[in-house]
Amino acid sequence: MDVFRISKFKRARDLSGFGASLKGQRWNRRGTSLLYTASHRSLALLEVLVHIGEYYPEDDYAIITLDIPEHQVTILDSSILPKDWAKIFDAGVLASFTDHWLKKEQSIAFEVPSAIVPQETNYLINPLHPDFQDVKIKNIEKFTFDERFFKDVID
């Protein structure tokens, strides 16, 4: 099953999840390594754009296609999430779901809804899972952001 992420080109092969562990994210606490990926290239782009801020990113990015075994995905039942979960930025609240999944070690990836497009999915990949070697980099391509996203910054 293909999943996608966008990162700096020099870190395209880094599947350690170290970046997410530095400060924690929506689905993980600080110190917990996770690899955030998306179900579609376009969703991967949105997930990066929402964090980029008000600067035009340099042309040193890549879009990475990873292959994960479909039988190694646990799906989060979104009906158990808090009512306004997409507006919760405290890593502790949503990270408790991820903590539970990580502790069980039953799969490499955890399917969660995207806070940007809740009808679409992100895949959290556990780089410390015993079967992590089954995750394969399928493709790495140079990625350039469309300048129209940053027209106020460039002009």
Q: Are 68 and 35 in contact (CB under 8 A)?
A: no
For all residues of the chain together, what is the average pLDDT? 91
The reply to whether the predicted model has a pTM over 0.75 is yes
Instruction: Please count the structural domains in the chain.
Output: 1
State the burial class of residue 6 (Cβ atoms within 10 Å of its Cβ: 0-12, 13-18, 19+): buried
Model confidence over 84-143: pLDDT tens digits? 999 877 768 899 999 999 999 999 999 999 999 999 999 999 999 999 999 999 999 999
pLDDT at 41 over 70: yes
pLDDT value at residue 136: 98
Model confidence over 42-70: pLDDT tens digits? 999 999 888 776 555 677 899 999 999 99
pLDDT at 16 over 90: yes
Main-chain dihedrals φ then ψ at residue 95, nearest 5 degrees: -65, -20
pLDDT at 1 over 70: yes
Is residue 151 very low, low, confident or very high in pLDDT (cuts 50, 70, 90)?
low
Q: Are 115 and 43 in contact (CB under 8 A)?
A: no
Return the higher-pLDDT residue of 10 and 24: 10
Q: How far apart are CA 86 and CA 114, in angstroms?
A: 8
Domain residues for the domain of 127 are 2-154
